[in-house]
C-alpha cells in the first residue's frame, strides 16, 4: 500500500493566513461587542416597508459587493417624536424578503433617530459574524496547515 505525503503550503502563505486571522478575530470580536451594545441600548419602534430598492440603486461601502440589479432590499419608514425617518436594509434578496406594506421592527438611538436599522438577526449580526467566521477560518488554516502536512494517508 502506497502512502501519499501531503505537502504544506508555502510558509509565507501560512504566515499571511495566520496574521490575517490574528487581526480579523479581535476586530470581529469588537464589532460583535459593539453590535450587542447597540441591540441593548437602542430604542425599538415599528416601521412599515414603503418601497423595495434595487441593489444597483444603493452602492456604498457595505453595499458595494451587492450583485447589481439582482436583488431587492426594503426601505422602511418609522416615526419618532412625530418625525418620519427612513432606513434601508442591507440584505438584497430575490425574491424579496419583504413586501411593500409589511410591518418591521426598527432600532435607532434616541440621540440620533435618523440612523435606524431594521431589527432582524440577519441585518444586525451578518457583518460581525461573517468577519469572525472568516478570521477563525484563516487563523485556523494558518495554525493547522503545517500540522496536516506531516500526516500521511494510505492509498488503496
Whole-prediction pTM: 0.69
**pLDDT tens string 24-55:** 999 999 999 999 998 899 999 999 999 998 86
Taking the C-alpha atoms of residue 131 and residue 128, their distance in angstroms, rounded to an integer, is: 5
Confidence of residue 65 (pLDDT cuts 50, 70, 90): very low
User: How confident is the model over 88-140, as pLDDT tens digits?
Assistant: 888 888 888 899 999 999 999 999 999 899 999 988 898 899 999 999 999 98
Q: Determine the Cα–Cα distance for residues 72 and 92; give it in Å rounded to an integer.
A: 5
Query: Where in the sequence is the domain holding 110, given as residue range(s)?
Result: 3-154
Is the model's pLDDT at 22 over the cut of 90? yes
Q: Please state the rounded mean pLDDT for residues 7-16.
A: 82
**Number of domains comprising the chain:** 1
Given a contact cutoff of 8 angstroms between Cβ atoms, the answer to whether 33 and 25 are in contact is no
DSSP of 109-123: ETTEEEEEEE-SHHH
The pLDDT of residue 28 is 95
What's the first-to-final CA gap in the chain, in angstroms?
6
Question: How many Cα neighbours within 13 Å face the side chain of 37?
Answer: 6
Cα diameter, the chain: 78
Amino acid at each position: 500500500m502506497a502512502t501519499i505525503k501531503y505537502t504544506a503550503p508555502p510558509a509565507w502563505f501560512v504566515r499571511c493566513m495566520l496574521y490575517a486571522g490574528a487581526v480579523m478575530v479581535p476586530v470581529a470580536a469588537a464589532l460583535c461587542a459593539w453590535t450587542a451594545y447597540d441591540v441593548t441600548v437602542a430604542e425599538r419602534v415599528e416601521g412599515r416597508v414603503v418601497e423595495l430598492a434595487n441593489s444597483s440603486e444603493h452602492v456604498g461601502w457595505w453595499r458595494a459587493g451587492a450583485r447589481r440589479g439582482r436583488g431587492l432590499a426594503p426601505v422602511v419608514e418609522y416615526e419618532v417624536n412625530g418625525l418620519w425617518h427612513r432606513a434601508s436594509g442591507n440584505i438584497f434578496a430575490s425574491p424579496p424578503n419583504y413586501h411593500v406594506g409589511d410591518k418591521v421592527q426598527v432600532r435607532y438611538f434616541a440621540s440620533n433617530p435618523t440612523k435606524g436599522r431594521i431589527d432582524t438577526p440577519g441585518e444586525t449580526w451578518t457583518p460581525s459574524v461573517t468577519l469572525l467566521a472568516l478570521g477563525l477560518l484563516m487563523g485556523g488554516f494558518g495554525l493547522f496547515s503545517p500540522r496536516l502536512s506531516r500526516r500521511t494517508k494510505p492509498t488503496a
